[in-house]
């Protein structure tokens, strides 16, 4: 049996940007209330957990304008229209850390902010990392990216979440998920 869904009375895109679209919708919610909702539409993203070995993880540090801070986080990126999430993850790995994985394992998926955004994140553990070679696509960082790449012991990265040094939710979630996975 399927749960009831909201009934959309009207909706309007009020902003369309490079990555997101913002909609305003008048809806009747499953329990009967009618309200106006603001929704950020996002094409989805992939989060990469690059592990050069079982005890280390590669993080990137970059400036994030919305929070006006430099953050340590796992590499991630927006999927291109119609792009397979695993292929997008491999592309982002090459673009952000300059390495190509030989092993790609899906480890989870989630909605990071379902109260206002439909973005769906898919997480992939990547190992067997190697420099790009002949036949690999040429990867370039996005124009707005200036990324510092660093390898951390997994225990240190987890401690950075606890101390608040890592304040990025997708990174905290992925590092927590790793503890339940076979190494």
pLDDT over 90 at 79, yes or no: yes
Mean pLDDT of the chain: 92
Lowest mean pLDDT across 15-19, 24-28, 124-128, 140-144: 140-144
72-88 mean pLDDT: 94
Measured between alpha carbons, how far is residue 111 from residues 11, 64, 130, 139, 140 in Å?
22, 20, 30, 27, 27
101-160 residue pLDDT tens: 999 999 999 999 999 999 999 999 999 999 988 877 666 655 666 889 999 999 999 999
Does 3.40.980.10 match the CATH number of domain 45-111+120-178?
no
pLDDT over 60 at 183, yes or no: no
Cα angle 49, 110, 123; round to 5: 20
User: Each residue of 139-165: b (16+ CB within 10 Å) or e?
Assistant: beeeeeeeeeeeebebeebbebbeeee
- Strands 103-110 and 121-127 turn out to be antiparallel
Question: Which residues make Cβ contacts (< 8 Å) with residue 75, sequence separation at least 6?
Answer: 47, 48, 50, 58, 60, 92, 93, 96, 97
Hey, where are the domains in the chain?
Answer: 7-41, 45-111+120-178
**Is 7 a residue of the active site?**
no
71-87 mean pLDDT: 94
Identified catalytic residue from 95, 143, 148, 165: 143
């Amino acid at each position: 049996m399927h749960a009831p869904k909201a009934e959309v009375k009207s909706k309007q895109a009020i902003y369309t940007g490079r990555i997101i679209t913002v909609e305003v919708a008048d809806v009747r919610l499953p329990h009967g209330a009618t309200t106006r909702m603001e929704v950020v539409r996002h094409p989805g993203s992939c989060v990469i957990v690059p592990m050069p070995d079982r005890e280390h993880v590669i993080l990137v540090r970059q400036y994030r304008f919305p929070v006006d801070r430099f953050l340590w986080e796992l590499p991630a990126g927006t999927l291109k229209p119609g792009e397979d999430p695993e292929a997008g993850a491999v592309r982002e790995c090459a673009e952000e850390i300059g390495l190509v994985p030989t092993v790609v394992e899906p480890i989870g998926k989630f909605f990071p902010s379902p109260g206002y955004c439909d973005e769906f994140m898919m997480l992939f553990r990547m190992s067997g990392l190697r420099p790009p070679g002949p036949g690999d696509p040429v990867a370039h960082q996005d124009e707005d990216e200036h990324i510092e790449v660093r390898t951390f012991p997994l225990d240190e990265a987890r401690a950075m979440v606890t101390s608040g040094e890592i304040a990025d939710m997708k990174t905290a979630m992925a590092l927590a998920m790793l503890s339940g996975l076979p190494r």
